[in-house]
Amino acid sequence: MKILTILLLTTIVFASQDYSNNALCDKEYIEFRKRIKRRVINEEIKNNFFEANKSFTEKSKVAGFIALTFDACDGGYNKELIDFLISENIPATLFLSGKWIDKNIETAKYLASNELFEIENHGLKHRICAISGEKKYGLRRTSNIDEIIDEIELNNRKIEKISGKRPIFYRPAGAYADEVCLKTASFLSIEIAGYDSLAGDSFSKTSAKEMSENIMRDAKHGMVVLMHLNHPERNEVEALKIAIPALRKKGFSFCHLEDFCMK
């Protein structure tokens, strides 16, 4: 009996630590996906393709806050950037893709354990969330409604397993989506996160000076800045070392994206 109990407990512990897409795609999930898909199909949707190049989040009237957001699309980890944010006590919102989490599982847990960071969803396979429209930045699109649901919901579940908190924002790969994606996201109770300011670190040649100028140019209350944390070879840290003191001098503070909904 004792051995059986130990075996059972071991199985439960290992099952709960299985973050793989296969483990997440269980019977309950497949039924859930069918229900969401039926709801999406029943909607009349004009399938416009668009770039989420403004943040849709309604901002509170409390002035003086900027949200720095960092996407983790795939691969690398800019440890120096995260260490800098911690040393300067700057809250940030991190959009993690499932692809990135699978390659950086211990780092994802570490980031989720620090209250300085809000962990949000950047898509399971880092795909443009659309069944219409064209390829952008060489990124693949989701090819049907099932894949749209997987892209959002399976990564929600992966993140929730790691952080203990279900994401409330989803930023599609490349920040491109269509209205089927938008409707699906609403059925999954998650808001599409856009951005107001592109630092320009998607391009490897953007200098720190250019990035900081891009951020400073648009500085205003409620601004959502999009940068990346998966390119340790790029210039984000140097750019922030210029931009952060300058923004503070102008009276700005930093907050999580979710804080705009609460302040």
| Residues at the interface with Zn ion (CB under 5 A) | 71, 73, 173
Compute the least distance from the CB of residue 122 to Zn ion, in Å: 6
Q: What are phi and psi of 244, to 5 degrees?
A: -60, -50
Please tell me the distance from the alpha carbon of residue 12 to that of residue 107, in angstroms, as a whole number: 23
The DSSP symbol for 63 reads -
Reduced to 3 states (helix: H, G, I; strand: E, B; else coil), residue 14 is: helix
Compute the least distance from the CB of residue 170 to Zn ion, in Å: 12
Compute the least distance from the CB of residue 126 to Zn ion, in Å: 6
Compute the least distance from the CB of residue 128 to Zn ion, in Å: 10
Amino acid at 77: Y
Q: Contact 180/47 with Cβ under 8 angstroms?
A: yes
Dmax (CA) for the chain in angstroms is 68
The CA R_g of the chain, rounded to the nearest whole Å, is 19
Compute the least distance from the CB of residue 215 to Zn ion, in Å: 18
Cβ proximity to Zn ion: between 152 and 173 the closer is 173
Compute the least distance from the CB of residue 71 to Zn ion, in Å: 4
Cβ proximity to Zn ion: between 173 and 180 the closer is 173
Q: Identify the bridge partners of residue 129 per DSSP, sorted by sequence position.
A: 177
Please tell me the distance from the alpha carbon of residue 194 to that of residue 184, in angstroms, as a whole number: 16
- From residue 45, give the alpha-carbon distance in Å to each of 38, 39, 171, 181: 13, 12, 20, 10
Cβ proximity to Zn ion: between 139 and 246 the closer is 139
Cβ proximity to Zn ion: between 121 and 252 the closer is 121
Cβ proximity to Zn ion: between 59 and 126 the closer is 126
Q: What are phi and psi of 65, to 5 degrees?
A: -115, 140
Cβ proximity to Zn ion: between 91 and 174 the closer is 174
Cβ proximity to Zn ion: between 127 and 256 the closer is 127
Compute the least distance from the CB of residue 209 to Zn ion, in Å: 24
Reduced to 3 states (helix: H, G, I; strand: E, B; else coil), residue 91 is: coil
- Cα 242 off chain centre by: 25
State the distance between the two ends of the chain, measured CA to CA, in whole angstroms.
54
